[in-house]
Chain A
Amino acid sequence: MKNKIKNIILFLILFLSFLSLSRLIQSLLIWNSENLISVDLLNHNKKKNDCKPKENSLLGYLRSKNDKTLFIVLDGYPVPELFKKLTLIDSNLHKFLKKSSDFYKYSISKDQWTSKSLAYSLAGIDNSPSSCIYPHFGNTIKPIFINGSQYFYSKDAFCKSSITELNERIIYYPLKLLKFFNKNDFYNLRRYEVILEERKKSCSMTNPKINLSMVNWIDRTEKASGIYFFHDIYFHDFIENSKLQINQIEGFLNKKGKIYLKELLDIDEKYQISLEDFLKKAYLSKSLKNIFILSDHGPRTKIFKNKELSLLESKGYFIYYYPIKGFDPNIIEIIKGL
């Protein structure tokens, strides 16, 4: 009898092991064919020269100048016209940026996805193969990330809004599992999403408390030149988390949608206050030469049927230029050409 049970179990294991092997092969084939950025031991360092930022692009030009430049990317933030359509109020942030910047431009990006949209607006790479995308650019650029998020992360970043590193994941993932089994309250533990939310709030351009130390951090980094990125995903995550509901109530202005409207206006004000404070401190920086505040695409909530508005909503972006140490007319020409 025992032998029979053993036989059955063994054949079950054989079946499961075949199944898991075939699943592994299938997953790897799909995964590696869909994603084109190589991160294996052999190829992760290889440079693709055709992915180099074009010489007449912002990144190409700034690299040749060897200036310390900071790009603050407000992921998915709407252009002023769209903001007004969404809220019926002018954006405080845009009013401030328009007034304080030396040059600005609102335009339509080539793509509604960050990687390709910024590949074009920053590096002039159009219709690029997937490996020539922001921020990788075929390994031809080593961007310095000031913040780390669940999308773009650097171990040496000034602040981190995600739980990405192995040691942190080992500590925090059990909380995620407890949430799955709904046991956090039972064990009196903090929820995974609460911890994550706190990190996102503190490591975001909406938090003015980090401004001074961030400028000092940029000044302290050894390299005299370099392209710094603060890729802010605070607004992006708000939209992504509320997209379904915003879409169902067809916007932010519906009675039921007041909560989203309030939050949108709140984020706008927070960005304005914090960026105003940041710029004041950045002007005192010893090493920063230029600052750009830009977005990559619109909020992509798909609530507009009007063609023009839906284009702004998916691909509308803005760029504001702040020369910290000396105005450069070449940069204006490049931005005009976008």
Chain B
Amino acid sequence: MNNQRLVKKIIYWIGIIFALIQILNVLFFNTTPNHIIRYPIFQFYGLQGIVISILIFFVIMYLTNYKKHKNSIDLIIIWTYCFLNSVYARLHDSMFYTFNFLLFLLAIISLLISIVILDLNSNNK
């Protein structure tokens, strides 16, 4: 049981780091290839949604961080946020978010949902 708690905590923090890197990239490091330019720049490349994205990130942090033990729902929330952020970036010409990469994130969310279902089943019994 303790093992599971630790693993969940690690998965949660990996999700937080993942989301943080995505935000930091849009804030300070994002680039575009020479042959793909969109004007006005501040309305593309994920820049127009960055404020909302940061706000949601803080809300998620606030809602999930005060608990000592992370439950699977917390993990689903943070990884869904990472997935949606990635889809949003992909729709704004960030080509490194490939289809396979998005499937990877979707697989994580699906597996987390399966854990919630398992938990619910065992609670019912």
Contact = CB atoms under 8 A, between A and B. Distances in A.
Interface string B97-116: 10001001101100110110
A151 B93 CA distance: 11
A37 B96 contact: no
Contacts of A23: 101, 104
Interface in A16-42: 16-21, 23-25, 27-28, 30-32, 34-42
B96 A166 contact: no
B30 A25 contact: no
B14 A18 contact: yes
Interface string A107-132: 00000011100000000000000100
Interface residues of B, number: 57
Contacts of A11: 7
Contacts of B108: 13, 16-17, 20
Interface stretch (A2-10, A252-260, A279-287, A301-309): A2-10
The residue among B8, B37, B93, B118 with the most chain A CB atoms within 10 A of its own CB is B37
A13 B112 contact: yes
Interface stretch (A53-61, A63-71, A152-160, A208-216): A152-160
A203 B107 CA distance: 40
A44 interface: yes
B30 A17 contact: no
Contacts of A230: none
B77 to A, nearest CB: 14
A44 B42 contact: yes
Contact of B25 (A28, A35, A130): A28
Contact of A155 (B7, B43, B95, B107): B43
B31 A115 contact: no
Given A9-B114, A14-B7, A40-B25, A31 B96 contact: yes
A228 B115 CA distance: 57
Interface in B17-57: 17-18, 21-22, 25-45, 47, 50
A35 B27 contact: no
Nearest to B79: A17
Contacts of A18: 14
Contacts of B45: 39-40, 44
A16 B45 CA distance: 27
Contacts of B18: 17, 20-21, 24
A42 B41 contact: no
Nearest to A169: B91
A6 B118 contact: yes
A126 B83 CA distance: 42
B4 A166 contact: no
Contacts of A36: 31, 34
Interface in A149-193: 150-156, 164, 166, 169-170, 173
Interface string B59-88: 000000000000000010001000000000
B21 A151 contact: no
A135 to B, nearest CB: 6
Interface of B: 3-4, 7-8, 10-11, 14-15, 17-18, 21-22, 25-45, 47, 50, 75, 79, 91-97, 101, 104-105, 107-108, 111-112, 114-115, 118-119, 121-122
